[in-house]
């Protein structure tokens, strides 16, 4: 029996989750991977009434899905590439996301400053097309700005040579908390989600995938899982499971993912105060530069650099940081320096390789997603972007139905499904640009505020009650889970996060009874402040 997504915070006691995992029976759908794509599939399938299990090897959104530029967007640069269909879909999905999670996503105004006479009309016309594609899903009207108006929006923009600018609208969100809201929404509809439970082997019957084995990393216990359908949604790591599937069938597969690295440097808001974001569509080498207000700080980025490997904690290359700081100096009166960086983090994008040229630059590779079904029945999905996670999930389910791996169900309902914390009707005022606070909990804010420790402030806008809520209702097991993805301090002020590790760890251990790995977190936080040589 399914439930609504807003009936209050459901407990996430690990003992209960593992007890359900140990129960005999066959799951309609097992999703491997707890990032944006896998969680989206779990929500869609569970909301249709399927019996759903999702397994994540680390924490939900541990990889790419917590390291985005925090933008819900149609993709202005994709429009320049001529990919109108992708932009139109993303613009529609942008509005759907803002409607279904208004506590975690909001409209954000961007300004493109013009330092050449032709830039304002050139980019302005393109952005008017962007508005036209959005239609009724538009968030605001594109405006041509004078020099004075541009400086009013971007007070610290370099005034020398400034001709004017263009203002347009896109969306902003909290990626890791949105992933968590998806996990909890899927659970509210009957799905079982277990983090820190990697898949160890795939199992087969008569050459067809029939299930898998997984292991709880805390106890080491193995679980055998039977499944009608298995979806590989492990993002940049999908080729690992594809290879395992191919080897079981004595076949080979060609890798389909071309990892691309995006670096983000976080600095204080004084470098670009105000409520507008900076967007430079074409820097010296053709890349895009963003300056985005988020959680009381400013995110500068991003790069698009190919990688031949896929580490869990990628670090920036020197030339990437030099690019971000160097380009910022071309547009800001006072440019940040290395010592001004509060947190430096990297996300790997799972771009799908083009059919012909493995050496194609990643910035030229389409951001569209791909769904493949192997001979054994393993369904793999990769590519795409956060904004279109819901549409991707619908596509995955449709492929599962077409391959007769799952009995067809009624059409999906997620286009009008408020996520956990969202009001059932009407808008909820929020501000992702503001420092962390109870507004991120939406309709659950009162419940968090009522917990013991709500008046015990830890620093950075965090309270002891927030840590307790994360342990009891948000699947948190480690200090990194709490300070990295539940409360986001690792991504905004790594030094402060390290200082709070022991206190957060003590609170967490009191709730869970397990080692919260505070020392390991301090080492991780130090790496977010380590500048590339």
- The whole-number mean pLDDT for each consecutive block of 10 residues of the chain, a chain of 533 residues, reads 51 96 96 98 98 98 96 81 81 95 95 96 92 90 97 98 97 97 98 98 97 98 98 97 95 93 97 96 86 97 91 95 96 96 96 57 56 96 94 96 94 95 68 80 94 94 97 98 98 98 98 98 98 93
pLDDT in the model for residue 425: 62
E strands, 435-474, in order: 457-459, 462-463
Q: How does pLDDT run across 264-300, given as a tens digit for each residue?
A: 999 999 999 999 999 998 888 788 899 999 999 999 9
pLDDT in the model for residue 162: 98
Hey, is 203 helix, strand or coil?
strand
Give the largest Cα separation in the chain, rounded. 71
pLDDT in the model for residue 78: 73
pLDDT in the model for residue 427: 54
With 0-12 / 13-18 / 19 or more C-beta atoms within 10 angstroms meaning exposed / middle / buried, residue 229 is buried
Contact 493, 529 (CB under 8 A): no
Residue span(s) of the chain under CATH 3.30.9.10 come to 106-172+259-352
pLDDT in the model for residue 358: 36
CA atoms within 13 A on the CB side of 119: 21
User: Which tokens sit at 168?
Assistant: 């347009």
Contact 4, 46 (CB under 8 A): no
Residue span(s) of the chain under CATH 3.50.50.60 come to 18-64+177-256+364-416
CA neighbor of 442 nearest in space, from 100, 69, 39 = 100
**CATH for 106-172+259-352?**
3.30.9.10
Distance CA 141, CA 132 (A): 10
CA atoms within 13 A on the CB side of 312: 6
Residue partners of 52: CB distance under 8 A and separation at least 6: 27, 28, 29, 30, 31, 42, 45, 46, 186, 190, 191, 192
Contact 186, 85 (CB under 8 A): no
Q: Does domain 18-64+177-256+364-416 have CATH number 3.50.50.60?
A: yes
Q: What are phi and psi of 346, to 5 degrees?
A: -130, 140
Hey, is 76 helix, strand or coil?
helix
Q: How does pLDDT run across 292-322, given as a tens digit for each residue?
A: 999 999 999 988 899 999 999 999 999 999 9
CA atoms within 13 A on the CB side of 146: 2
Contact 20, 65 (CB under 8 A): no
pLDDT in the model for residue 429: 52
The separation between CA 259 and the C-alpha centre of its own chain, rounded to angstroms, equals: 16
The answer to pTM > 0.75 is yes
Which DSSP letter does residue 157 get?
A: B
Q: What are phi and psi of 207, to 5 degrees?
A: 80, 0
pLDDT in the model for residue 355: 56
């Amino acid at each position: 029996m399914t439930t609504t997504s807003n009936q209050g915070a459901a407990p996430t006691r690990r003992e209960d989750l593992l007890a359900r995992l140990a129960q005999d029976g066959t799951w309609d759908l097992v999703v491997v991977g707890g990032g944006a794509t896998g969680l989206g599939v779990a929500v869609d399938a569970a909301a249709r009434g399927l019996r759903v299990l999702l397994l994540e090897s680390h924490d939900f959104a541990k990889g790419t899905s917590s390291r985005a530029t925090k933008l819900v967007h149609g993709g202005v640069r994709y429009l320049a590439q001529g990919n109108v269909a992708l932009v139109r879909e993303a613009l529609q999905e942008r509005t759907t996301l803002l409607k279904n999670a208004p506590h975690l996503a909001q409209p954000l105004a961007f300004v493109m400053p013009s330092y050449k006479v032709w830039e304002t009309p050139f980019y302005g016309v393109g952005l008017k097309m962007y508005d036209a594609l959005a239609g009724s899903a538009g968030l605001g009207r594109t405006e041509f700005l004078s020099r004075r108006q541009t400086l009013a929006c971007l007070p610290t923009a370099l005034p020398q040579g400034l001709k004017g600018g263009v203002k347009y609208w896109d969306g902003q969100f909290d990626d890791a908390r949105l992933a968590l809201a998806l996990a909890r929404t899927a659970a509210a509809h009957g799905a079982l989600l277990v983090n820190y439970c990697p898949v160890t082997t795939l199992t087969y019957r008569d050459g067809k995938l029939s299930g898998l084995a997984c292991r709880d990393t805390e106890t080491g216990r193995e679980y055998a899982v039977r499944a009608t359908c298995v979806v590989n949604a492990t993002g940049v790591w999908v080729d690992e499971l594809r290879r395992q599937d191919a080897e079981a069938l004595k076949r080979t597969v060609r890798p389909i993912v071309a990892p691309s690295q995006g670096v983000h440097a976080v600095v204080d808001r004084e470098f670009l105060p105000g409520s507008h974001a900076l967007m430079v569509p074409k820097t010296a080498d053709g890349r895009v530069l963003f300056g985005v207000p988020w959680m009381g700080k400013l995110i500068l980025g991003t790069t698009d650099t190919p990688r031949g490997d896929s580490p869990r904690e990628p670090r920036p290359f020197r030339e990437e940081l030099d690019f971000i700081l160097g380009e910022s100096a071309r547009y800001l009166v006072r440019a940040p320096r290395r010592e001004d960086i509060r947190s430096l983090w990297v996300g790997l994008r799972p771009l799908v390789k083009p059919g012909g040229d493995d050496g194609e630059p990643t910035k030229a590779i389409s951001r569209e997603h791909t769904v493949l079904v192997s001979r054994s029945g393993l369904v793999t999905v990769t590519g795409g972007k956060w904004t279109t996670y819901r549409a991707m999930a619908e596509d995955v389910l449709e492929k599962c139905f077409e391959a007769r791996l799952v009995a067809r169900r009624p059409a999906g309902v997620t286009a009008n499904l408020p996520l956990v914390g969202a009001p059932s009707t009407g808008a909820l005022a929020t501000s992702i640009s503001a420092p962390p606070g109870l507004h991120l909990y939406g309709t659950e804010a009162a419940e968090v505020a009522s917990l013991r420790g709500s008046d015990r402030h830890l620093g950075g806008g965090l309270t002891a009650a927030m840590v307790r809520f994360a342990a009891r209702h948000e699947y948190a097991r480690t200090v990194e889970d709490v300070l990295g993805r539940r409360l986001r301090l690792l991504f905004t002020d790594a030094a402060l996060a390290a200082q709070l590790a022991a206190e957060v760890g003590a609170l967490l251990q009191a709730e869970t009874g397990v080692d919260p790995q505070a020392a390991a977190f301090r080492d991780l936080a130090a790496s977010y402040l380590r500048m590339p040589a």
